[in-house]
Amino acid sequence: MLSIIVLLTSFIIAYCLTIPTISLAKKLRLVTDKKIRFHPAHTHEGIIPRGGGLPIYFSILITSFIFLPINKIIFGILLSSGLLIIVGLLDDYYDLSPYLRFITNLLISALVIGFGLGIPYLSNPFGGIIKLDQWQIVINFFGKHSILVVADILAIVWLSWIMNMVNWSKGVDGQLPGFVAITAFFLGILAQRFTAHDISVQSVALLSFIVSGAFLGFLPFNFYPQKIMPGYGGGALAGFLLGILSILSFGKLGTAVLILSIPMIDAFYTILRRLKNKKSPFRADWGHFHHRLLEIGWGRRRIAVFYWLVALILGISSLFLKGNEKLIAFITVAVLLLVFIIIIEKMKKQKLNTTIESRI
């Protein structure tokens, strides 16, 4: 019952705060206008307010203060998330360099890990665990502190990766808040099975439902035709929080990877494609999976719902699958997606050939 109350509270706060955010973004010129600045990955038309991460963050902040005991880890998460939103708002206004954004990703990830978040071990999909806490460095600075070198570096890499990966999958109206809300919801359910940080099982689950509710509250304003965009802050915050939630319940990294299979595989493919074309993997372009679906005639609503349904199906599957079964499921999705991309490429070529023949 408490989980439902928490989710609804977060939903209502995000919904109510998004309305004035739209007006504020317009007044402050936090907008995307193709006539003023071109972005190769954008699919929208007209002038759309940015800064959607702001109401989402304040919803999470307010609901957390109401329902969660604020210990060191929770405080670190809220503080780091706030800094990420500030970077997002600056990017919404100034279009920061992607390299600068990546550096801030690393620094903010390191900051939250400094508050006690880390990955001391991983669940082995074939059984047992993989320990990452063997190499420790002890420092005495305002008390005794231990740095788990491998565990902390892996956590920084994981958070930075999932921030960018999830942020890349916000190109279509309603796409991101829908699958993020679904992913956070299932992580909340699974968090109740096992946790190993200095934070209670209930706190991890409630934080998951808070995140889910906040993105659901933002969704009505982002669904086609969108009235506000998540912006870099909203996209990066989504990945940051999903990465944190997967870490808070050890063994759930695999669950997050499974539910986010399409964004994850799309990100891998995007990086390889850009490197193959001798382009920076940090530079945005037209070529993500949702762009390809647009090219074959899919509407924005259909694409968004497709992402939601896949996340929902994989989320339900994660409740029943074990480690090695999740790995098999992920590989299966990867193969199906690859086949889908090949089919799309053939459809594009056929469409192009038909257009050329009609002109001759």
Burial of 82 (0-12, 13-18, 19+ CB in 10 A): middle
CA distances from 341 to 167, 289, 348 (A): 21, 8, 10
167 is in an annotated binding site: yes
- Rg over alpha carbons for the chain, rounded to the nearest Å, is 20
Helix ranges (H only) for 95-228 are 98-114, 149-167, 175-191, 201-222
217-233 burial, b at 16+ Cβ within 10 Å, e below that, comes to bbbebbbeebebbbbbb
Q: How many CA atoms lie within 13 A of 56 on its CB side?
A: 38
**Residue carrying structure tokens 């003023």:** 36
Q: How many CB atoms lie within 10 A of CB 270?
A: 19
Contact 237, 81 (CB under 8 A): yes
Question: Which residues make up each annotated binding site?
Answer: 167
Annotated binding-site residue numbers for Mg(2+):
167
